Amino acid sequence: MAKIKIACLPGDGIGVEVMASAKEVLQTLATVEEDLKIELVDFNWGSDHYIETGEMMPEHAIDTLKGFDAVFLGAVGNPALIPDHISLWGMLIKIRRELSLSLNIRPARVINGIQSPLHSPRKFDFIVVRENSEGEYSESGGVIHNGVNEIAVQNAIFTRQATERAMRFAFDLARKRESKVTSATKSNGIVHSMPFWDRVFQEVAKDYPDVKTESIHIDALAAFIVTKPQNFDVIVASNLFGDILTDLAGAVMGSIGIAPSANLNPDGRFPSMFEPVHGSAPDIAGQEKANPIGQIWTAALMLDHLGHLNASKRIIEAIEEVTKQGIKTADVGGAYSTREVTNAICDYLISSAQ
């Protein structure tokens, strides 16, 4: 197979640390997987770049990224110095929008060796399909007047195109899995967009009579993720609902530090972007405490997307082997550093190949 070219954007905080880990894993894997050839190119964009230049990324950043097979991102945000909406909209969300990454795919399942905080979890394995281009995340609105008269307006945008696209993706995915799609709604409280969401869901479902469906209000769904995560297969959600559900799903797995995600460009016109669910975690940055598994599992999603299924499986196997051995960071009950977990995963990739 041809060499794959990956743009690496470590970003801020622990993004830099877990990116270093995942790059090592990818480079190690390339030494043991014969047909895996990877070129990793770093771009040090993010909050430091903003402080120097007033921009999160240089002017031609998006054009530069278009020349790669995939974008691999750590995390963005330095809230002590830059308001979060500036850093996120200047980089993460800008990339999502300008590369038309309209689907965000976020799996959650039991990982061998990682204890869920649930008391006696049944084996669960579900995927959240998060609409990634519109919904509650919208630039439509504004703030007017001052003082007691101040008004903030934030419009949610739901287009038929993007809503249907997320739902069809969810149904197609469910057909390859357990054939069930759950729609995250809130049509009891949100009177325009969510009844529309429900209507589109019912229409799309007609094209998939073999797939079981259910609609659950987001508040109840959040509770069910805790009480019976094993009931779910594919969950389709709007941008904000999907965002919240996937931190919850990460927590139910054991830590948001292990949750991966794939931001997909559905028509393949632009590269897709891969980043863990978690953020830059300023509370633990620079302390060797970050769990690198979210970023490393994300690398596996990226390889899978690029057609390297075997290499992808090897990463997952290495993660589960190392966690089973108890080599884990503190967030999942271990006493090991970012570096030690990374080394153990790389060592396993080498020794299992011999």
Ligand X SMILES: NC(=O)c1ccc[n+]([C@@H]2O[C@H](COP(=O)([O-])OP(=O)(O)OC[C@H]3O[C@@H](n4cnc5c(N)ncnc54)[C@H](O)[C@@H]3O)[C@@H](O)[C@H]2O)c1
Interface contacts to ligand X, rule CB under 6 A = 14, 18, 75-77, 79, 84, 88, 92, 256-257, 275, 278-284, 290-291, 294, 331
Residue 75 contact partner, candidates ligand MLT, K ion, Mn ion, none, CB within 5 to 8 A by sort of partner: K ion
The least CB distance from residue 247 to Mn ion, in Å, is 6
**304 near ligand MLT (CB under 6 A):** no
Nearest to 45, CA basis, from 69, 25, 26, 65 = 65
Contacts to ligand MLT from residues 80-99, by CB under 6 A: 88, 92
The least CB distance from residue 325 to ligand X, in Å, is 19
Q: Determine the Cα–Cα distance for residues 176 and 217; give it in Å rounded to an integer.
A: 25
Q: Determine the Cα–Cα distance for residues 13 and 102; give it in Å rounded to an integer.
A: 26
By CB under 5 A, name the one of 17, 243, 321, 331 that touches Mn ion.
243
Region near K ion per CB under 5 A, out of 75-83, 145-153, 285-293, 313-321? 75-83
By CB under 6 A, name the one of 24, 131, 233, 243 that touches ligand MLT.
243
Catalytic residue annotation: 137, 186, 219, 243, 247
Nearest to 352, CA basis, from 327, 316, 328 = 316
**75 near K ion (CB under 5 A):** yes
The least CB distance from residue 97 to ligand MLT, in Å, is 11
Total residues contacting Mn ion by CB under 5 A comes to 1
**277 near ligand MLT (CB under 6 A):** yes
The position carrying tokens 């014969």 is 34
Residue 306 contact partner, candidates Mn ion, ligand X, K ion, none, CB within 5 to 8 A by sort of partner: none
Q: What is the DSSP letter of 2?
A: P
**304 near Mn ion (CB under 5 A):** no
Contacts to Mn ion from residues 38-57, by CB under 5 A: none
**275 near K ion (CB under 5 A):** yes
Q: Determine the Cα–Cα distance for residues 344 and 328; give it in Å rounded to an integer.
A: 10
What does the buried/exposed string (b/e) look like for 2-21 if buried means 16 or more CB atoms within 10 Å of the residue's CB? eebebbbbbbbbbbbbbbbb
Q: Determine the Cα–Cα distance for residues 6 and 39; give it in Å rounded to an integer.
A: 6
Residue 72: partners with Cβ closer than 8 Å, 6 or more residues away:
6, 7, 8, 9, 19, 22, 40, 273, 274, 275, 298, 299, 302
Q: Determine the Cα–Cα distance for residues 264 and 105; give it in Å rounded to an integer.
A: 8
Interface residue list for K ion (CB under 5 A): 75, 275-276
